[in-house]
Structure 1
């Protein structure tokens, strides 16, 4: 069956022909010799669907495929990927380098493995079409002898053994790219080395729509035993970016293709035990960062976290950090219990950074975890035990303690609870609690180790939430995730049969926890100053 978005007729019996293939009205030779190039020339229209699949035939005996592509424009931007007859084989995005896929090696962003005979597809993404229609020129080489050296260092991902034991705060970065992202240049070794130099305990690899970087984890981890490599992905669509924290299986990002929806993607991440966070949700700068602002609709309880800091405050976050924190509060108002995390979005391992670009560790997220392992870090996020230092590791630290111990991020109590914040490294700065998104009284910090306490009145119904912030130069510099407070449930009341006084033992009570609500959140924050790399920048 042809995909619904195939543009142009396909002759019957194509696999058996040594004739021509028609795509978008252009004649193209179907190769049979190993080094005969197949040329695909055509156009794609603007509008939906966002992705077009261009078929080509691969004969038996092929061991390597090279795909070169060009969008023939300085105004239009097309993204590129590759599918084999069984599905996904890679996604380079706006990377203009040729894609090479072989049996035992592949170029960056692509998946090595068997080369099945049959219909393959060049995947074309409509990132930006300013001058429709968008033209493309594609050349495909089918080889019976490989050109890439084997990559024995690639291994299927296996969780690393804990790098440290014992409960404490671990420092890390939840948004780091390697060269497996088409728009990045850093090696995973570069990333790990920079993280170690900044005193981080872990980094999460979040390459765009690919898991191929995880193939190198065991090899790189052996050279950097001090920094835990956590698997993940930046699920990158033209209407927003999700962070699949802990994801190890690929999830289709081509929203609008048959059976590909944002709801299905969220379910696919949940089924593999990954946690979802929204990356840079308020970054609405148009074509300067295509698809970076969050425009999808998902229930607020879908998200385990929100990236409240994207890039260091001084480098970039000052431009949209307040709007991002407001987005987070809006999501919590709507029923979500998302933890706060931060990510540098570093694509270069701190080298040759341009304006508004940040190195790994800016910002830094502190996670209270039982050990330094991927599973423990994810458990810390799920429990809301995070603190974000919006500039970097040297920022003040804040720890929250309630007189009634929480279960995860929720304190269930009656009357009043004391909430204490211990602030270290904050002398000369300002401290405040924030209740339900509203800042409370500001207090000047006079020492590098002090405590501030507030009495939390437990509401009769619903929940109230508190976080703590350190203010530097008038803006948040450190913030905690929320602690939520609600009244203890009434004791169960058994229904009594008026005939004989017997109880049916039901003890039924309606649930009031907002995390189970079916509310839908649509947040679009605009008016931001243009920043960051262009779509094709490294």
Structure 2
């Protein structure tokens, strides 16, 4: 049996509060009250138009009767031509079950953003991005996210199909282990910002894991947009040689943040803006789940990508995202500015930098760039501690290897992320050893700026650079490797950079 019912969803609407910002709820969709024969289907189609200025999230209530085995949703929306410089239509979609849409996501059953035009959910399976589980009767909600709306409005059509029948068992999730074999205290390479086909990526976990190994990585972190649905699908890709951590890219309308290394099955809500004063709650949620809070590409120019929440809740910041671009240069400069504040602070707290690929599909290169972390072992906790402490540098590939230290007159020394305790006028030697960076130039950057630039490294890519200073002259020093440039005084693209070493008592 198949029925079709059309309704202009905007004709019946009400405003409600999800715990942060106002959202729009449309008129509900109902189906037959009783279950029929196994395999019977029912379909409803709802259409409407969202105006310019529509709320961030629009909810369509769907009354699910008993006996449903599968929910299938398909949607489409108009994409009219718009004037140059004007945003066109883009509509995201997701699903919440009978537990509701309250901020925090107890009822969350999946999100595909704008990556798919249809999806299904069953007890035993679901479209990537969605969470398998029992289809219980009650009021479910489709979540529509009008990311951008054209001046003509955003006209949409949603088709819901229920299939009746006995539900299969939901498989128990299996997650990757929190440790790999490792080499004890050593430098480990990782990429913590990656997208699979469980959000808007085009690669399977198996393909990503293979590319990670080829890139020389020791660890990765899953970070699909606004969903944790991939977490049970990584276990068979982990191994003694590859630690796979689990997380999410929490994609709000005011910036993105990587939840790095959370407990398996952790979902972090994204339905708020900076003005709603809710980010602190979800940063704490990430930490309670054992993860790190890492704002991603803070100066990216895509709509909603620039980071507006401040860095008070951050454990690290992604300064280099994918192939090096001008917004990475801005992020690097702004991050460097924060280091001076830590010099003045009694707590001496500072924000370490990371680099990740944000790879989605070919030709995006997994491991370009990669964060190289000094960790006590190849475990989730040890890697996170190395990142949090800033014992790391960022390199464009596995070929680039750095050793960066400072030493004092009596043999005392410190490495990346550390502090050399030295008198203000005591001579300090800064030393950078490099391999894998042909024809690059080394620069030493301090709180005063770039105070030393080396000669170009030979074609072999190997070399050692030294510079002498004092704690009085440089509150901290960090190293950069730059490629050659043809733009005069503009520095070349990064090949690598380190977190700082602080100088002084």
Q: Do these two structures clear the TM 0.5 threshold for a shared fold by scoring above it?
A: yes
2:330 aligns with: 323
SS at structure 2 position matched to 1:263 = helix
Residue 77 (str. 1) matches residue 90 (str. 2): yes
SS at structure 2 position matched to 1:382 = helix
List gaps (5 residues or longer) in structure 2.
1-8, 15-23, 81-87, 100-106, 343-348, 486-491
Q: 1:466 aligns with which of 474, 477, 495?
A: 477
Q: Is the deviation greater in 107-116 or in 413-422? A: 413-422
Q: 1:195 aligns with which of 185, 190, 212?
A: 212
8 Å CA contact 1:105–1:150 kept in 2: the answer is no
Tell me, in whole angstroms, the C-alpha distance in 1 between the residues paired with 2:332 and 2:306: 14
1:482 aligns with: 500
CA RMSD for the aligned pairs?
3.0
Residues 140-162 of structure 1, C-alpha deviation per residue, up to 9 Å, x if partnerless? 12222379x9885x624353332
1:395 aligns with: 400
Q: 1:439 aligns with which of 437, 450, 463?
A: 450
C-alpha displacement of 1:114: 1.8
SS at structure 1 position matched to 2:111 = strand
8 Å CA contact 2:406–2:501 kept in 1: the answer is no
* CA distance 1:10–1:377, shift in 2 (3 Å): same
2:44 aligns with: 38
Tell me, in whole angstroms, the C-alpha distance in 2 between the residues paired with 1:155 and 1:325: 39
* CA distance 1:419–1:8, shift in 2 (3 Å): farther
8 Å CA contact 2:29–2:60 kept in 1: the answer is no
SS at structure 2 position matched to 1:377 = helix
C-alpha displacement of 1:129: 0.6
Tell me, in whole angstroms, the C-alpha distance in 1 between the residues paired with 2:123 and 2:233: 17
Residue 273 (str. 1) matches residue 297 (str. 2): no
Q: Is the deviation greater in 254-263 or in 189-198? A: 254-263
1:214 aligns with: 231
Residue 116 (str. 1) matches residue 136 (str. 2): yes
SS at structure 2 position matched to 1:243 = strand
Residues 390-433 of structure 1, C-alpha deviation per residue, up to 9 Å, x if partnerless? x3222352433455456993426241454433333446432221
C-alpha displacement of 1:97: 3.2
1:234 aligns with: 249
8 Å CA contact 1:101–1:112 kept in 2: the answer is yes
SS at structure 2 position matched to 1:442 = strand
Q: Is the deviation greater in 417-426 or in 435-444? A: 417-426
Residue 454 (str. 1) matches residue 482 (str. 2): no
* CA distance 1:43–1:398, shift in 2 (3 Å): farther
8 Å CA contact 1:8–1:23 kept in 2: the answer is no
8 Å CA contact 2:373–2:391 kept in 1: the answer is yes
Tell me, in whole angstroms, the C-alpha distance in 1 between the residues paired with 2:462 and 2:303: 42
Residue 413 (str. 1) matches residue 413 (str. 2): no
SS at structure 1 position matched to 2:234 = helix
2:6 aligns with: none
C-alpha displacement of 1:118: 0.7
* CA distance 1:455–1:133, shift in 2 (3 Å): same
Q: 1:97 aligns with which of 117, 127, 152?
A: 117
C-alpha displacement of 1:309: 1.6
SS at structure 1 position matched to 2:53 = coil
1:291 aligns with: 304
SS at structure 1 position matched to 2:257 = strand
8 Å CA contact 1:344–1:359 kept in 2: the answer is yes
8 Å CA contact 1:108–1:179 kept in 2: the answer is yes
* CA distance 1:297–1:257, shift in 2 (3 Å): closer
Residue 165 (str. 1) matches residue 165 (str. 2): no
8 Å CA contact 1:46–1:126 kept in 2: the answer is no
8 Å CA contact 1:51–1:257 kept in 2: the answer is no
8 Å CA contact 1:209–1:253 kept in 2: the answer is yes
Tell me, in whole angstroms, the C-alpha distance in 2 between the residues paired with 1:51 and 1:135: 15
Q: 1:429 aligns with which of 431, 440, 465?
A: 440
SS at structure 2 position matched to 1:241 = strand
Tell me, in whole angstroms, the C-alpha distance in 1 between the residues paired with 2:176 and 2:439: 46
List gaps (5 residues or longer) in structure 1.
1-5, 12-21, 488-538
1:344 aligns with: 357
1:493 aligns with: none
SS at structure 2 position matched to 1:64 = strand
Tell me, in whole angstroms, the C-alpha distance in 2 between the residues paired with 1:280 and 1:424: 27
Tell me, in whole angstroms, the C-alpha distance in 2 between the residues paired with 1:157 and 1:458: 50
Tell me, in whole angstroms, the C-alpha distance in 2 between the residues paired with 1:39 and 1:333: 58
8 Å CA contact 2:253–2:273 kept in 1: the answer is no
Q: 2:165 aligns with which of 145, 149, 163?
A: 145
Tell me, in whole angstroms, the C-alpha distance in 1 between the residues paired with 2:254 and 2:377: 36
Higher relative contact order (CA 8 A, sep 6+): 1
Tell me, in whole angstroms, the C-alpha distance in 1 between the residues paired with 2:273 and 2:481: 43
Tell me, in whole angstroms, the C-alpha distance in 2 between the residues paired with 1:57 and 1:228: 43
Tell me, in whole angstroms, the C-alpha distance in 2 between the residues paired with 1:407 and 1:453: 15
2:173 aligns with: 155
C-alpha displacement of 1:451: 4.3
Q: Given the two structures, how large is their TM-score scaled by the length of structure 1?
A: 0.75
Q: Is the deviation greater in 100-109 or in 126-135? A: 126-135
* CA distance 1:310–1:437, shift in 2 (3 Å): farther
Q: Given the two structures, how large is their TM-score scaled by the length of structure 2?
A: 0.80
